[in-house]
Amino acid sequence: MILRGWSGLAGAPTSAWLAAIEAGEALGPVVEPPRPEGVDGGLWRRAGALARLALSVGLPLLPQEPTILLWACGLGELDATGRFLGRLAEEGPGQLSAAAFQASLPSTAGAILSIAAEQRAPGRCASVETFAGRGAGGAALLRAETLLALGACEAVLIVGAEAPHPVLQAAGAALPGGVAAALLFTRGGAGPRVTVEEGSPSLRPGAAFGEVGVGALIGVVALAEAGRGGAVAEVGIGGALCARVAFAP
Q: Does residue 138 carry a pLDDT above 70? A: yes
How many Cα neighbours within 13 Å face the side chain of 72? 32
Could you tell me which residue, 67 or 237, shows the higher pLDDT?
67
Distance CA 21, CA 205 (A): 6
Could you tell me which residue, 28 or 7, shows the higher pLDDT?
7
Q: Name the pTM for this structure.
A: 0.86
Instruction: Report the CATH number at residue 57.
Output: 3.40.47.10
**How many domains is the chain built from?**
1
> So what's the pLDDT on residue 229?
86
Could you tell me which residue, 213 or 13, shows the higher pLDDT?
13
Q: Side by side, which strands form the sheet with 193-197?
A: 125-132, 67-73, 155-162, 179-186, 2-9, 193-197, 239-246, 230-236
**Do the beta carbons of residue 209 and residue 241 sit within 8 Å?**
no
Question: In this predicted model, what pLDDT tens digit does every residue of 74-110 receive, in sequence order?
Answer: 877 777 666 666 666 677 776 666 666 566 676 788 8
Exposed e or buried b for every residue in 31-55, given b needs 16+ CB within 10 A?
Answer: eebebbeebeeeebeebbbbbbbbb
Q: What Å distances lie between residue 179 and 12, 96, 143, CA to CA? A: 10, 30, 22
Distance CA 155, CA 170 (A): 38
| Full domain range(s) for residue 103 | 2-246
For the chain, the 3-state helix, strand and coil shares in percent, each to the nearest 5, are 40, 25, 35
**Do the beta carbons of residue 213 and residue 185 sit within 8 Å?**
no
Question: In this predicted model, what pLDDT tens digit does every residue of 22-42 receive, in sequence order?
Answer: 877 777 777 788 898 888 888
H helix runs in the chain, sequence order: 17-23, 41-46, 49-58, 78-91, 98-103, 108-120, 136-149, 166-170, 206-209, 215-226
> So what's the pLDDT on residue 163?
80
Question: In this predicted model, what pLDDT tens digit does every residue of 43-67 receive, in sequence order?
Answer: 888 888 888 999 999 999 998 888 9
> So what's the pLDDT on residue 183?
97
**Widest pairwise Cα distance in the chain:** 62
> So what's the pLDDT on residue 238?
66
Question: In this predicted model, what pLDDT tens digit does every residue of 155-167 receive, in sequence order?
Answer: 999 999 988 776 6
> So what's the pLDDT on residue 208?
40
Question: In this predicted model, what pLDDT tens digit does every residue of 194-224 receive, in sequence order?
Answer: 999 876 655 555 444 444 567 889 889 999 9
